């Protein structure tokens, strides 16, 4: 791809508010073909412009460039061997916060892990180990359910949940799961209808943990009762560990609902596209 001089770039961007649709589309296509390296230049042009129409065109272009980078990252994540959960959640996070660096949330998660690790005793029973994690996460660090704004898109953004200490079932479970896995515990996500929980599943013990309810410990029978209450037939997947891919897909589905409730059809469509990357059609 040809490299344009700054003067040529200025000339190109100034054509973005051309009244001729064909000229405008040609200019957009040319800028997009330059990739993300052109974003800082576009942002500078936005700041120095007093033309609201031009600013709007630049905003749309920057979003388009950032969105295509997000899709690229998501495709790479899907093909990666371990499908690292924090990496996957960070990629989704860049939909709302495109400038967020992975290192930022990784450092925050390491700090949370350190707080739990310093208070943790490996020699205790599964129940007591879970109680120790609960105590640090929900009493000391004050993570809790965001019941006031349950459908806020922020609940699906891990950076937001780490900042506010408020989240929905899946984001709180994800933080709990990441900490427990790093401690070497057999803790996994479980995909229940209308609720996401965790299981501590070893050869000796299987218990379930509701991170949305301060780490409440419950049993298989409680899940049966819950399903009965919802009039849903029990299925294996409601009791067994799910994958990191399942967690990321469910986070995207939550985002779709959040944007539907906010009446933002364009964002709903974009998030559906992201979900389609992770759920390729079967032929």
pLDDT tens digit sequence for 61-102: 878 888 989 999 999 999 999 999 999 999 999 999 998 999
Give, in order, the Cα–Cα distances in Å from 195 to each of 171, 172, 177.
Answer: 11, 12, 15
Judging by beta carbons within 10 Å of its beta carbon (0-12, 13-18, 19+), is residue 13 exposed, middle or buried?
buried
Question: What integer pLDDT is reported at residue 46 of this predicted model?
Answer: 67
Q: Answer for the pair 209, 198: CB distance below 8 angstroms, yes or no.
A: yes
**Angle, helices 6-14/21-32, rounded to nearest 10 degrees:** 140
Is residue 282 over pLDDT 70?
no
Average of per-residue pLDDT values in the chain = 90
Residue of 184 and 2 predicted with greater confidence: 184
pTM over 0.75: yes
Is residue 54 over pLDDT 80?
no
Question: What integer pLDDT is reported at residue 44 of this predicted model?
Answer: 76
Question: What integer pLDDT is reported at residue 1 of this predicted model?
Answer: 41
Question: Tens of pLDDT along 128-157?
Answer: 999 999 999 999 999 999 989 888 999 999
Question: d(Cα 51, Cα 55) in Å, to the nearest integer?
Answer: 6
Question: d(Cα 251, Cα 256) in Å, to the nearest integer?
Answer: 9
């Amino acid at each position: 791809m040809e490299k344009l001089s700054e003067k040529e770039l200025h000339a190109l961007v100034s054509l973005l508010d051309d009244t001729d649709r064909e000229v405008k589309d040609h200019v957009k296509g040319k800028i997009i073909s330059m990739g993300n390296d052109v974003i800082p230049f576009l942002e500078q042009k936005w700041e120095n412009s007093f033309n609201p129409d031009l600013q709007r065109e630049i905003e749309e272009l920057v979003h388009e460039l950032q969105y295509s980078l997000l899709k690229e990252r998501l495709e790479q994540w899907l093909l990666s061997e371990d499908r690292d959960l924090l990496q996957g959640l960070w990629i989704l996070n860049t939909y709302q916060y495109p400038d967020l660096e992975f290192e930022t949330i990784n450092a925050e998660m390491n700090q949370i892990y350190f707080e739990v690790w310093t208070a943790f005793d490996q020699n205790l029973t599964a129940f007591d180990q879970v109680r120790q994690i609960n105590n640090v996460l929900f009493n000391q660090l004050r993570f809790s359910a965001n019941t006031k704004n349950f459908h806020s898109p922020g609940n699906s953004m891990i950076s937001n949940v780490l900042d506010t200490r408020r989240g929905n079932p899946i984001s709180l479970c994800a933080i709990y799961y990441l900490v427990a896995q790093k401690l070497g515990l057999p803790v996994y996500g479980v995909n229940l209808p209308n609720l996401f929980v965790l299981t501590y599943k070893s050869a000796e013990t299987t218990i379930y943990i509701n991170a949305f309810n301060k780490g409440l410990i419950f049993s298989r029978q409680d899940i049966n009762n819950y399903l009965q209450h919802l009039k849903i037939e029990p299925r294996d997947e409601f009791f067994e560990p799910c994958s990191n891919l399942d967690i990321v897909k469910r986070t995207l589905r939550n985002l779709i609902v959040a944007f539907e409730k906010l009446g933002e059809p364009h964002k709903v469509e974009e998030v559906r596209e992201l979900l389609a990357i992770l759920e390729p059609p079967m032929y």
